[in-house]
């Protein structure tokens, strides 16, 4: 073990020693260490009445410090389902324009179904939070944007899936948290 002075005065470095007995100095190379956290939230309403994925207005951008870092994405999506009959719908998570997480496909709809409500009275409204998480390996040190999209499994009259609705328990607030994890 050795400590050496910088080669010039322009290269000053400061090491802070933990103020506890038998402390340890962690480095950014410590696997599993959280290097940075970025969080964003939105209350901007979004609605989709189709089977084509549409943005939910929830996104956040992080710039990884290393190409080997992983990004832990955690989402709490404020959601409303409006239906006249049985309905299914789903969300997907994108890194840039690449889909990195969605539910498994089902045979009775054109998109993967993560949410399904059936045999309810017409004009029913359900408010809840939909949670997603994903450990991603973007392999870049460039600014990287993550966002969610939503769609119905089967379109129909008086059916929609909504993000950031105002009403009941959701209060229309969705949150996305991005954590850079050292590899």
135 versus 31: which is more confidently predicted? 135
7 versus 39: which is more confidently predicted? 39
Residue 180 contacts residue 140 (beta carbons within 8 Å): no
161 versus 120: which is more confidently predicted? 161
Task: Provide the pLDDT for residue 98.
Answer: 95
**Mean pLDDT computed over every residue of the chain:** 82
pTM for the complete prediction? 0.79
Local confidence band at 33 (pLDDT 50, 70, 90 cut-offs): very high
Residue 172 contacts residue 56 (beta carbons within 8 Å): no
Residue 171, sorted as left (phi over 0), alpha (psi -120 to 50) or beta, turns out to be: left
Residue 51 tokens read as: 């089977």
Spatial separation of the C-alpha atoms in residues 100 and 84, rounded to whole Å = 31
Residue of 182, 178, 183 whose CA lies nearest to 63: 178
């Amino acid at each position: 073990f050795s400590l050496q002075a910088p080669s010039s005065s322009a290269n000053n470095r400061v090491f802070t020693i933990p103020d506890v007995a038998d402390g340890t100095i962690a480095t950014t190379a410590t696997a599993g260490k959280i290097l940075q956290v970025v969080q964003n939230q939105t209350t901007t309403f979004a609605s989709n009445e189709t089977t084509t994925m549409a943005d939910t207005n929830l996104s956040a951008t992080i710039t990884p410090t290393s190409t080997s870092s992983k990004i832990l994405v955690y989402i709490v999506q404020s959601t409303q389902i409006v239906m006249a009959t049985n309905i299914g719908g789903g969300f997907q998570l994108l890194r840039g324009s690449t889909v990195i997480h969605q539910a498994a496909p089902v045979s009775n709809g054109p998109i993967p179904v993560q949410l399904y409500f059936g045999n309810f009275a017409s004009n029913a409204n359900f408010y809840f939070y939909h949670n997603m998480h994903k450990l991603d390996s973007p392999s870049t040190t460039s600014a990287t944007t993550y966002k969610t999209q939503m769609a119905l499994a089967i379109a129909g009259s008086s059916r929609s899936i909504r993000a950031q609705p105002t009403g009941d328990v959701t209060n229309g607030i969705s949150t996305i948290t991005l954590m850079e994890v050292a590899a």
